[in-house]
Amino acid sequence: MIISTVNVNGLRAAARKEEGFLRWLAATDADVVCLQETRAERAQLPEEVIAPPGWHVTLAPARDKGRAGVALYSRIRPDAVRVGFGVEEFADAGRYVEADVAGVTVASLYLPSGEVGTPRQEEKERFMAAFLPYLVGLRERAGAEGREVVVCGDWNIAHREADLRNWKANTRKSGFLPEERAWLSRVFDEAGYVDVVRSLFPDSEGPYSWWSYRGKAFDNDAGWRIDYHVASPGLAAQAKEARVERAAEYGLRWSDHAPVTVHYDV
Amino acid sequence: MIISTVNVNGLRAAARKEEGFLRWLAATDADVVCLQETRAERAQLPEEVIAPPGWHVTLAPARDKGRAGVALYSRIRPDAVRVGFGVEEFADAGRYVEADVAGVTVASLYLPSGEVGTPRQEEKERFMAAFLPYLVGLRERAGAEGREVVVCGDWNIAHREADLRNWKANTRKSGFLPEERAWLSRVFDEAGYVDVVRSLFPDSEGPYSWWSYRGKAFDNDAGWRIDYHVASPGLAAQAKEARVERAAEYGLRWSDHAPVTVHYDV
DNA sequence: CATCGGAGG
DNA sequence: CCTCTGATG
């Protein structure tokens, strides 16, 4: 099973572009694609996007127009789809959807992005506090049933110094705060998940998956690795290959994030 | 003296376009150009726009960012420039500027656009009520000094049935309300001004100078004549030629209005 | 169906 | 520096 995740920064804009999302979708070898920041309701999207031939599409837009929104594209029909993770505040926030596909639970997560000293950082903290227990329970249920799990998406946290280009300048910035990094450590150490891409690239800088549109961040590869495959150990052990589909090598840039694609031997 | 007037619908956007305002300005034979809806402050505009070689530029932006704004471009240095027409409410509204150029007072007017049943229609009415006395005084002063006057711009009123394509459907719409048309009649009959383009095209439909961006209004020539040269009779008598520079014949469309250009033998 | 501002990122 | 709203036209 090949799974890809990408924050599209507006699905309408991404699909409008000549060498954009639709071209990428037509060319990808992925079986399941997790999207974040779709920023659109079903009615705002063209037919090619909501019903591309060969794909089963699940949209989980946000309550607020033009905000957040996640989606799942699967070549195999999911056995079940669940929106949200049982916490009222984030039930309709367009931040979490999961599907059971061929015995694997695949989730698309868009964790709030935060800004230090603003209510958006508090929202991010509330999300993290609420989501960790859910992840623990998800793993326990999956383990009990012999099912594998992977939570793909934009976690909006770089875990370690190797996960962003200029870590020193960002130690007080949302996305690389000590408490955020510690929280992500708990996802791995306490909840028992594996950072799949890091496990395949243990000694690399990056590979980054997001570059600010500001300045020459992309040209200078001044990026962040904030898009993850966070998998149960059994699934992570089956990951044989991972790549970040950086624009230069995969056609034009149609988002500020690049797809993160992993081949699992399941 | 050749005078042209055009509502640019955002001077930044108009100047950004390849075949846009700057190309048009470089090609025009006009001596004076009146702009409306510049929607920008000086600091937001590039050098080529605020200081094109050979032009003296007067900007009269609005208090509110991104709203209204008028400007005058003149090849001859104006002897004097006056912003506003002495009424407090509209002093900084970016709706009126006049300049004395080679003995002629040329004004750029952007009359509020209004919408029936909203405060914006009331603002339009207040503007009309305040502006008519000013026009009367302007004519009187000019007449006493043997000076000619022309108030160019977007008056946001079609005067007669021949001045818009679908007049029947618009009798209750702002821009063709009986009271607005009557007010414009008073500008001509009481204040003693002449509708220059109509005087040169007495029996034509149009020529229209604005087409909505909505639908196929432009392709179907479903336009309105709301951009006028409103001149003192002495100057109007010298008008020898008028044209609306409709996009198709003058390069690509860079605004929803087209320049209205008149050759005066002065 | 454009332009612009401002929020969000 | 992008993508979205919503006001304005």
Rounded CA–C1' distance between B115 and D9, in angstroms: 10
Residue A253, CB, strand C, below 7 Å: no
- pLDDT bucket at B248, cuts 50 / 70 / 90: confident
Residue B162, CB, strand C, below 7 Å: no
Nucleotides on strand C with an atom closer than 7 A to protein CB? Answer: 1-6, 8-9
- Per the structure, the residues numbered 51 to 80 in protein chain B that have their CB within 7 angstroms of any atom of strand C are 65-66
Check pLDDT > 80 for residue B180. yes
Residue B215, CB, strand C, below 7 Å: yes
Q: In this predicted structure, what is the pLDDT of residue B249?
A: 78
Q: Are strands A70-74 and A32-36 parallel, antiparallel or unpaired?
A: antiparallel
Amino acid at B51: A
Rounded CA–C1' distance between B242 and D3, in angstroms: 43
Q: In this predicted structure, what is the pLDDT of residue B174?
A: 95
Name the residue with the least CA to C1' distance from nucleotide D5: A66
Q: Catalytic residue among B73, B96, B110, B264, which?
A: B110
Q: Express each pLDDT in A116-131 by its tens digit.
A: 999 999 999 999 999 9
Under-50 pLDDT residues of chain A: none
Name the residue with the least CA to C1' distance from nucleotide C2: B213
Name the residue with the least CA to C1' distance from nucleotide D4: A66
Nucleotide with C1' nearest the A66 CA: D4
Token pair in block for residue B120:
């914006």
* A154 has catalytic annotation: yes
At the topology level of CATH, where does A2-264 sit?
Deoxyribonuclease I; Chain A (3.60.10)
Q: In this predicted structure, what is the pLDDT of residue A250?
A: 78
B25 and B259 in contact (C-beta within 8 Å)?
Answer: no
Name the residue with the least CA to C1' distance from nucleotide C8: A67
Q: Catalytic residue among A154, A163, A195, A227, which?
A: A154
What whole-number distance in Å separates Cα of residue A261 and Cα of residue A2?
7
Q: Are strands B104-110 and B148-154 parallel, antiparallel or unpaired?
A: parallel
Please check if A7 is assigned to a binding site: yes
* A229 has catalytic annotation: no
Q: Identify the bridge partners of residue A89 per DSSP, sorted by sequence position.
A: none
* Sequence-ordered alpha helix ranges (H) in chain A: 11-16, 21-27, 47-50, 119-145, 178-189, 196-200, 233-236
* A110 has catalytic annotation: yes
Residue B259, CB, strand C, below 7 Å: no
Q: In this predicted structure, what is the pLDDT of residue B4?
A: 98
Q: Express each pLDDT in A20-48 by its tens digit.
A: 999 999 999 999 999 999 999 999 999 99
Place of tokens 């150029």: B101
* Sequence-ordered alpha helix ranges (H) in A79-220: 119-145, 178-189, 196-200
Token pair in block for residue A136:
């623990």
Rounded CA–C1' distance between A71 and D7, in angstroms: 31
Nucleotide with C1' nearest the A118 CA: C8
- pLDDT bucket at B247, cuts 50 / 70 / 90: confident
Amino acid at A69: G
What whole-number distance in Å separates Cα of residue B165 and Cα of residue B224?
7
Nucleotide with C1' nearest the A39 CA: D4
Residue extents of the structural domains in chain B: 2-264
Mean pLDDT of the region B122-130: 95
- Per the structure, the residues numbered 31 to 60 in protein chain A that have their CB within 7 angstroms of any atom of strand D are 39-40, 44
Q: In this predicted structure, what is the pLDDT of residue A252?
A: 78
- pLDDT bucket at B44, cuts 50 / 70 / 90: very high
Residue A14, CB, strand D, below 7 Å: yes
Is residue B193 classed exposed, middle or buried when 0-12, 13-18 and 19+ CB atoms within 10 A define those classes?
buried
Nucleotide with C1' nearest the B16 CA: C3
Q: 3-state secondary structure string, chain B? A: CEEEEEECCCHHHHHHCCCCHHHHHHHCCCCEEEEECCCCCHHHCCHHHHCCCCCEEEEECCCCCCCCCEEEEECCCCCEEEECCCCHHHCCCCCEEEEEECCEEEEEEECCCCCCCCHHHHHHHHHHHHHHHHHHHHHHHHHHHCCEEEEEEECCCCCCHHHECCCHHHCCCCCCCHHHHHHHHHHHHCCCCEEHHHHHCCCCCCCCCECCCCCCCCCCCCCECCEEEEECHHHHCCEEEEEECCHHHCCCCCCCECCEEEEECC
Q: In this predicted structure, what is the pLDDT of residue B250?
A: 78
Which is higher by pLDDT, A49 or B247?
A49
Q: In this predicted structure, what is the pLDDT of residue A248?
A: 76
Please check if B154 is assigned to a binding site: yes
Name the residue with the least CA to C1' distance from nucleotide D9: B113
- pLDDT bucket at B124, cuts 50 / 70 / 90: very high
Rounded CA–C1' distance between B113 and D8, in angstroms: 10
